[in-house]
Amino acid sequence: MSNPLVSVTVCVRDGEQWIDGCMTALSTQTYRPLEIIAVDDGSSDGGTEIMQEWHDPQAERPESNGISIRVLQQEPLGLSAGRNLALKEANGDWVAITDIDCRAEPDWISVMMASSEGVEAVTGRVVFDEGRTSVSKLRARKIAAKFADRAEKTTLANGPCSMFMRENLVARGGFDPAWYHAEDMEVSMRILASGGEIRYVADAVVNHVAEESLLQFLAKRRRDARAHVRIIRGYRGMKHDFTSDAKFIAPLLPVVLFGWSSLLLFGPPENFTAQMAPFWIVMASCFLVALIAFRIHILWSCVLWIGAFEGCIDAVLGRNGHRRLFAKK
Q: Is residue 91 part of a domain?
A: yes
Q: How many domains does the chain have?
A: 2
Instruction: Answer yes or no: do 190 and 237 share one domain.
Output: no
Instruction: Answer yes or no: do 128 and 263 share one domain.
Output: no
How large is the angle between the packed helices 79-89 and 183-193, nearest 10 degrees? 60
CATH classification at residue 136: 3.90.550.10
Instruction: Answer yes or no: do 87 and 174 share one domain.
Output: yes
Instruction: Answer yes or no: do 208 and 218 share one domain.
Output: no
How large is the angle between the packed helices 295-317 and 214-234, nearest 10 degrees? 40
Longest dimension (CA), the chain: 86
Better pLDDT: 181 or 22: 22
Q: State pLDDT tens for residues 72-89.
A: 999 999 999 999 999 999
> Mean per-residue pLDDT for 150-169?
95
Instruction: Answer yes or no: do 234 and 315 share one domain.
Output: yes
Band (237; pLDDT cuts 50, 70, 90): confident
Task: Answer with the one of 212, 232, 257 that is the final residue of a domain.
Answer: 212
Task: Answer with the one of 212, 238, 258 that is the final residue of a domain.
Answer: 212
> Mean per-residue pLDDT for 185-191?
92
156: nearest Cα among 143, 173, 167, 138:
143
Q: Is residue 14 part of a domain?
A: yes
Helix (H, G, I), strand (E, B) or coil at 104: strand
Q: What pLDDT shows up at residue 99? A: 97
Instruction: Answer yes or no: do 179 and 96 share one domain.
Output: yes
Q: What pLDDT shows up at residue 327? A: 67
What distance in Å separates the CA atoms of residue 218 and residue 30, rounded to the nearest whole number?
A: 36
Instruction: Answer yes or no: do 203 and 262 share one domain.
Output: no
> Mean per-residue pLDDT for 35-43?
96
State which residues form the domain around 135. Answer: 6-212
What distance in Å separates the CA atoms of residue 130 and residue 211, rounded to the nearest whole number?
A: 8
Instruction: Answer yes or no: do 24 and 104 share one domain.
Output: yes
206: nearest Cα among 184, 176, 173:
184
> Mean per-residue pLDDT for 289-297?
78
194: nearest Cα among 162, 156, 168, 217:
168
Q: What pLDDT shows up at residue 323? A: 83
Q: State pLDDT tens for residues 260-289.
A: 676 665 555 555 555 556 656 666 666 666
pTM of model > 0.75: yes
Instruction: Answer yes or no: do 79 and 192 share one domain.
Output: yes
